[in-house]
Amino acid sequence: MRLYIVTCVLAFAVACGSDEDGDPAIGSPATDAAERDFQRKLNSSLPAEQLAALNEVLEAWVMEKGKAPVSLEEFVREGYLKRLPTPPAGRRFMIDRKAVRIVLR
């Protein structure tokens, strides 16, 4: 369910495949394309693409819960992601609480 919310937010952001109310239709080309793009970024070996995907999840989380999670592992526990991407060696993904963004440190 949470991954569906993330997908809907992504599809809405690209503003394609909307129904009369402006919401992406389940299984619409826009929703499918947004999901494929999200998964591609999440599974990318490029840190910038992984960060973009994680920040999309963070945006969906904040829209639903009103605040950032305590840790990134909450994305997995709450069903927003199946797993967290692997950061580059010697670095880690962290939540920048002031900017409400995920950064690589």
Q: Tell me how many domains the chain contains.
A: 1
- Report the pLDDT value the prediction gives residue 32, as an integer from 0 to 100: 87
Tell which residue, 33, 51, 50, has the closest CA to residue 42.
50
In this predicted structure, the answer to whether residue 15 has a pLDDT above a threshold of 50 is: no
Higher pLDDT, 34 or 69: 69
What number is the average pLDDT over the span 37-46? 92
**How far is residue 63's CA from residue 27's CA, in Å, rounded to a whole number?**
22
**How far is residue 32's CA from residue 20's CA, in Å, rounded to a whole number?**
18
Contact 6, 38 (CB under 8 A): yes
Backbone angles phi, psi at 103, to 5 degrees: -125, 165
Q: 100 lies in which domain range?
A: 2-104
Contact 36, 22 (CB under 8 A): no
